[in-house]
Amino acid sequence: MARSFSRKSRRSASRNPRILITGAAGRIGQCLAASLGKRHPLRLLVRTFDARARRLERWGEVRAVDLADAAALKAACRGCGTVIHLAGDPRPAAKWDALLSANIMGTYQLFAAASSAGCRKVIVASSIHAVSGYPADVQIKTDDPVNPGDFYGVSKCFVEALARFYAERRGLNVLVLRIGAFQPLSAARKAESTEMMDAFLSPDDLVHLMECCLRDTRLRFAILHALSNNRFKRLDLSDTRELVGFRPRHDLTRENPRLRKLHLNQKVKSHSQADRKRKNP
């Protein structure tokens, strides 16, 4: 069976601490900028320099760069050790033309720029939609074949393939995050949030995962699932825990008031080693 990761190349780790974040004005971008900006020098890319972009200036240098502008992307990547690529069209119902421009061509331009500019690591956002075509009762592992449920998912399958190409053939160290339902805790606590109880990802858990990825010095390439520690997990977290030390804290069945009173975390076994350890400490 093909593995969803490979060990690091012979290239040394970057000594340049500056991090470039594309799509910095989006929900995930703003969350990461506000957290990582306290500990790392950041360069934040936005599509247009508007009010949201100006608010980002407290966390780092902000540049307005179009993903179609190869020269501007290369200039933005220059001097950065790591790139976190979040930019793209995030709509599951997006039309193919929009996805082709933003998610496929834009991601190619970003990888080409990062490689040409001498960056050492790229952390790129994929999505649970790359495997959402599996039946709802299947828990997906990182080495299961991609199975997109929509054209947005198809675009993320391309992103994952391109990421592996640049890792194995162009010498970048690339970590791919399949991100679930990223929402604030306030959304998890709403009654209707039960529909995402197997895919919820809290901001704190995503920031923790990103810090794990930034610290990693062993991996050349890996697909990592990005969910909180929900009692029910659409994506298996085993590789993410083992490879980068991910330890998520939040669980939607504890945050949601309708589910909390059911005590699912105690009553429903996960059939894992953790269950046995709790029973026989």
Can you give the three-state secondary structure of 195-222, one letter per residue?
A: HHCCCEECHHHHHHHHHHHHHCCCEEEE
The confidence score (pLDDT) of residue 107 equals 98
The pLDDT score that the predictor gives to residue 59 is 96
Q: Residue 219, Cβ neighbours under 10 Å: how many? A: 20
- Distances from the Cα of 161 to the Cα of 34, 143, 164, 222, angstroms: 30, 13, 5, 11
What pLDDT sits at residue 281?
45
Q: Give 48-69 pLDDT, tens digit per residue.
A: 989 989 999 999 999 999 999 9
Name the nearest CA neighbour of 148 among 178, 176, 181.
178
Asked if the model's pLDDT at residue 22 lies above 90, the reply is yes
Q: Which two tokens stand for residue 16?
A: 């340049």
**Is residue 32 predicted with pLDDT exceeding 90?**
yes
Q: What is the pLDDT of residues 234-268, one digit of tens each?
A: 999 999 999 999 999 999 989 988 877 777 776 66
pLDDT at 142: 97
**CATH code given to domain 5-279:** 3.40.50.720
Q: What share of the chain in percent tops pLDDT 90?
A: 80
* Half-sphere exposure in the Cβ direction for 36 (13 Å, CA): 33
Q: Say yes or no to pLDDT of 276 above 80.
A: no
CA distance 214 to 121: 9
What pLDDT sits at residue 6? 75
Could you state, in order of their start, the residue ranges of all structural domains in the chain? 5-279
Model pLDDT for residues 192-214, shown as the tens digit of each residue: 898 999 999 999 999 999 999 99
Closest among 45, 43, 48 to 59, alpha carbons compared: 43
Mean pLDDT score of the chain: 91
Strand partners of residue 43: 20, 61
Confidence label for 13 from pLDDT (cuts 50, 70 and 90)? low
What is the mean predicted confidence (pLDDT) over 97-124?
Answer: 97
